[in-house]
């Protein structure tokens, strides 16, 4: 990857981030709920279930927390 393409990618990412933040701040100031739509790539993929993915992450986080608590209790 060349340096020029890396710099252009970073500039594009920063511009997108700034645009999202401005939109989110505008929605927050007006009192409307902020709704962030999932990425079009995630929505377009046929075999991806976003809700199942979220539940899986939550399940893993709870298991990790419980494991750490058990380890702490056994010290």
Pair (1, 20) in one structural domain = yes
Query: How far apart (Å, rounded) are the C-alpha atoms in residues 43 and 37?
Result: 9
Pair (4, 23) in one structural domain = yes
Q: Which domain holds residue 6?
A: 1-36
Q: What b/e readout covers 5-31, taking b as 16+ CB neighbours within 10 angstroms?
A: eeeeeeeeeeeeeeeeeeeeeeeeeee
Tokens of 35: 């709704």
pLDDT digits (tens, 9 = 90+) for 11-63: 888 888 888 887 777 665 556 665 666 666 655 666 767 788 889 999 999 99
Pair (7, 30) in one structural domain = yes
The residue written with tokens 């899986």 in the block is 56
Pair (1, 26) in one structural domain = yes
Pair (44, 70) in one structural domain = yes
Q: Please give the pLDDT value at position 28.
A: 59
Query: How far apart (Å, rounded) are the C-alpha atoms in residues 72 and 53?
Result: 29
Pair (30, 50) in one structural domain = no
Q: Please give the pLDDT value at position 43.
A: 58
Per the structure, the count of domains in the chain is 2
- Give SS3 for 64: helix
């Amino acid at each position: 990857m060349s340096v020029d393409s890396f710099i252009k990618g970073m500039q594009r990412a920063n511009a997108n981030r700034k645009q999202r933040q401005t939109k989110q701040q505008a929605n927050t100031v007006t009192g409307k709920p902020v709704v962030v739509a999932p990425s079009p790539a995630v929505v377009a993929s046929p075999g991806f279930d976003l809700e199942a993915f979220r539940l899986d992450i939550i399940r893993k986080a709870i298991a990790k927390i419980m494991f750490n608590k058990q380890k702490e209790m056994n010290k």
